[in-house]
Structure 1
Amino acid sequence: MAGTDSVSIFTEGTFEEQILELVNYLARSLAEERATYIQPFQDALTVTEGQKPIAEDLERRRNILTMILKEVKGLGDGSEREIEGFFNLLFSHFLELFPLDSPETKSHLDTLLHTIASSSEQTTTKYRILSNLFNAIPRRSGLRLLVYKTLLQIASENDELELLGLSDTDVENWLQEWEISPEEKSAFLKLLVDAFAKCGEPERSYQFQLSYVRSLPSSSSPAQAAAIDAIAIALRLPSYFNFDELFRLDAVIAAKDHELFSLLHIFLNDGLAEYKAWAESHAGAFSKYELDPSQLQRKIRLLTLATLGFQNIGRDLPYSLIASGLQVEPSQVETWVIDVIRAGLLSGKLSQTTQTLHVTRATARSFEREEWELLGKRLQAWKSGLVGVLEVIAATRKKNTPEPTQANTSASSGVETPVPAAQAAVA
Structure 2
Amino acid sequence: MAPRGLVFVDGSSNDILQEIADYVKIGDEIRPLIEQGQTEDALAAIVKASPALNSAPEKEIGPAYNLLIFAVINYSKDPKKHLQPICSNLTKTITSSPVNGRDLALGSLSTVFNLLAKDDPIRFNVFLQIVRFVKMNNMFDTIKPALKNVPGWLEAWSTDEEGKQRLYVELADAAEAADENKIAYEHLLEALRTFDADDSASEEAQKLALRALKMILVIERPWAYDFQGLRALAPVQSLADTHPVYAQLLDIFAEQDLEDLKDFKLEHEGFFEKEKLDEKILETKMRLLTFATLAASHQDREIPYDVIAKGLQIPSEDVELWIIDVIRAQLVEGRMSQRDRVFKVHKTIYRVFSDKQWRELQSRIDVWKSTINQVHTVLRVQQVEAEKTKERQQQELEKKLAGAGISDGPPQGRGGRRPRNDNDD
From 63, 67, 76, the counterpart of 1:98: 76
From 170, 179, 182, the counterpart of 2:161: 182
1:319 and 2:305 aligned:
yes
1:205 and 2:187 aligned:
no
The superposition leaves residues 179-218 of structure 1 with CA deviations (integer Å, 9 ceiling, x where unpaired) of: 3443232222222222222222222222211112222321
Instruction: Tell me, in whole angstroms, the C-alpha distance in 2 between the residues paired with 1:314 and 1:131.
Output: 58
Corresponding residue for 1:226?
A: 208
Deviation at residue 172 of structure 1 after TM alignment: 1.9
- Residues 4-403 of structure 1: matches in 2 within 5 Å? 11-27=9-25, 37-46=26-35, 54=37, 60-73=38-51, 74-75=53-54, 77-80=56-59, 82-99=60-77, 105-120=79-94, 121=97, 122-166=101-145, 168-216=147-195, 217-239=199-221, 240-257=224-241, 258-312=244-298, 314-401=300-387, 402-403=390-391
**1:218/1:224 contact within 8 Å kept:** yes
Q: CA RMSD in A?
A: 2.5
Instruction: Tell me, in whole angstroms, the C-alpha distance in 1 between the residues paired with 2:200 and 2:245.
Output: 18
Where 2:391 maps in the other structure, the secondary structure is coil
The superposition leaves residues 112-140 of structure 1 with CA deviations (integer Å, 9 ceiling, x where unpaired) of: 11111113241111111111211222233
**1:141/1:179 contact within 8 Å kept:** no
Equivalenced residue count is: 379
Corresponding residue for 2:421?
A: none
Where 1:317 maps in the other structure, the secondary structure is strand
**2:134/2:140 contact within 8 Å kept:** yes
- The amino acid of 2:66's aligned partner reads N
**2:14/2:34 contact within 8 Å kept:** yes
| Closer/same/farther in 2, CA of residues 232 and 134 from structure 1, 3 Å limit | same
The superposition leaves residues 309-366 of structure 1 with CA deviations (integer Å, 9 ceiling, x where unpaired) of: 0122552211111111111222111111111011000011111111111111111111
**Higher Cα Rg, which structure:** 2
- The amino acid of 1:69's aligned partner reads V
Deviation at residue 392 of structure 1 after TM alignment: 2.7
Instruction: Tell me, in whole angstroms, the C-alpha distance in 2 between the residues paired with 1:353 and 1:129.
Output: 66
Instruction: Tell me, in whole angstroms, the C-alpha distance in 2 between the residues paired with 1:391 and 1:262.
Output: 52
TM-score, L = length of structure 2: 0.82
Instruction: Tell me, in whole angstroms, the C-alpha distance in 1 between the residues paired with 2:154 and 2:269.
Output: 41
- The amino acid of 2:15's aligned partner reads E
Instruction: Tell me, in whole angstroms, the C-alpha distance in 1 between the residues paired with 2:314 and 2:35.
Output: 88
| Closer/same/farther in 2, CA of residues 10 and 201 from structure 1, 3 Å limit | closer
Higher deviation after alignment, 178-187 or 115-124: 178-187
Deviation at residue 266 of structure 1 after TM alignment: 0.8
TM-score, L = length of structure 1: 0.82
Instruction: Tell me, in whole angstroms, the C-alpha distance in 1 between the residues paired with 2:102 and 2:88.
Output: 14
**2:333/2:347 contact within 8 Å kept:** yes
The gaps in structure 1 that reach 5 residues or longer are 1-5, 28-36, 48-53, 55-59, 410-416, 419-427
| Closer/same/farther in 2, CA of residues 140 and 313 from structure 1, 3 Å limit | farther
**1:232/1:289 contact within 8 Å kept:** no
The superposition leaves residues 352-408 of structure 1 with CA deviations (integer Å, 9 ceiling, x where unpaired) of: 1111111111111111221122112212222222222223333333333322969xx
Q: Which has the higher contact order (CA 8 A, sep 6+)?
A: 1
Deviation at residue 284 of structure 1 after TM alignment: 2.6
Deviation at residue 10 of structure 1 after TM alignment: 5.2
- The amino acid of 2:229's aligned partner reads E
**2:305/2:342 contact within 8 Å kept:** yes
Instruction: Tell me, in whole angstroms, the C-alpha distance in 2 between the residues paired with 1:39 and 1:221.
Output: 54
Deviation at residue 294 of structure 1 after TM alignment: 1.1
| Closer/same/farther in 2, CA of residues 398 and 83 from structure 1, 3 Å limit | farther
Deviation at residue 296 of structure 1 after TM alignment: 0.7
The gaps in structure 2 that reach 5 residues or longer are 399-407, 410-425
Deviation at residue 273 of structure 1 after TM alignment: 1.1
